[in-house]
Structure 1
Amino acid sequence: MFLSKNLKHLRERNGKQTQENLANALGITRSAISSYEDGRAEPKLVVMNRIAQYFNITLDQLLNVELATLGDVDLQQQKEVKKYASAENLRILTITTDRENNENIELVPEKAAAGYTKGYADAEYLKDLPKYQLPFLPEGRTYRAFEIAGESMLPLLPESIVIGEYVANWNEVQEGQTCVVVAKNDGVVLKKVYNKITERGTFLLKSSNIAYQPYEVSADEVVEIWKFAAYISRDMPDDSVTSLQELKSAFSRLEDELQDIKMERRVRK
């Protein structure tokens, strides 16, 4: 954590504020501020939250981001991305219902995927999509179905239909969880998702097929995330693909390391 370093940086950046003045503003003692900055003690959660609010940053930034490396503009942009990802800035999901007021599961066919990134919030667009009810899914959640193209997520075959459960707070997506990601420029894709918002303001998207390279998409380019709930296919998955699991895991770890190296080089440039 960068708590002690960040606290001292914020205090000195803010008009070279003294420990005494900051302590008075936060309602704690000067010796407490001194111990936090020296790393001799850690504040309680309520105090950490008070510090973050005082300096107009997020608690995550206070603890996990080396603020001395960021300018004011970068810091604000990162804060807005975090708010967007956690749905603090309201994102409206448009849905349709049947005659009994049950939520429909709209199907987005492959040929309609390109238009979905523009019409996902348009009730007129959604009403023309095929609609279904699937009783085997848990109730009280919102689902949408997407037809998958390509072979990037083997053993799921092209033309399989993936049913996704809507995720409002993207921070709840588990690392490596398979999700349908809807992005403004990249369209609708099924990928394993890794949250890199704190480090780079992005999501890292990986295919299960090692022939496809991972890539990053800016969090503010993403409009919807649907975590994998079920799939429907006319064909049986190919068992020979799953026998490569150990090799895929090794390549996955290597891809993570290479991706971090590339990003470090970009930052240095």
Structure 2
Amino acid sequence: MSDRSATLDLDLSGIHVSLTGPDDGALEMFRVEWAAWLGSPADQPDLRMEYRVSGEPPPDQTTLRKVLHTAHGDDSITFTTGEGKLELERSGHASATVTRGGDRFRFYGLQNLMLAALARVLPGRGIMVVHGAGILLDGTAVALIGPEDAGKTTWARIAAENGLTVLSDDLLFLGLDGEQAFALGSPFRSASTGPGRFPLGLLLSSEHAPEAAVRLCSRLAFQALLSANLPFSGDLIGKGTGLDRLLDGLLEAVPFRTLAFAPDPSFLDRIGESLARKFRE
């Protein structure tokens, strides 16, 4: 383990993160595997994150499967997982401790803790982290929102097999700039299209059906779906953090529908038709 420290400046499609810690194998993995996301120092990054490696032995797989725990302080929140712990201050400064283990173990542990911190700080900047899959159709992002078993991975895989770009099959960064909604490219749990900001044209819930169809969905139902799929930040609703305004703004700016689909590419035509109607309106 290196005694030297180093700082990486990350640009996650306009989200600036300063990551400081031991100049070790885990940090080198960020340099290599997140090379497309390395940026220049920002005067005021969205997140400053420092980390150290604890002396505790690496956890077993049973511990890793345990749910994340949170503890609220007066001016901070602490996340604890089998991989480590992160304390996030109201100022946006985060201090993390990752459990001793191999380089890749620490690399992924830091990613998970960073994601938790970003999910807390970004709503105030007009961006939220959502459980969802995203694809690009003629340069416009389409997001399928939902938990496990919602069909996100299958949906994204079929889109990729038919030549479409996949933003992610599990986690999306969605935002609002005035009345313009967008989706961001990100390195979290994605095949990584690289950095990018794409207009968000359609929000979808899903249901399984023998034939593909796009159906109307009530605003109340879709707002409940979005609210239930905000990892690490769902408790911020109603707390004046900007998340409520962001949820309302997205549903004002972007059509929301239910996609009924079977595991075949026919749903792509139905999505294309819905986007075409949106642009004609």
Decide which structure has greater helix share: 1
Shorter-chain TM-score above 0.5: no
**TM-score, length of structure 1 as denominator length:** 0.29
**TM-score, length of structure 2 as denominator length:** 0.28
Decide which structure has greater strand share: 2
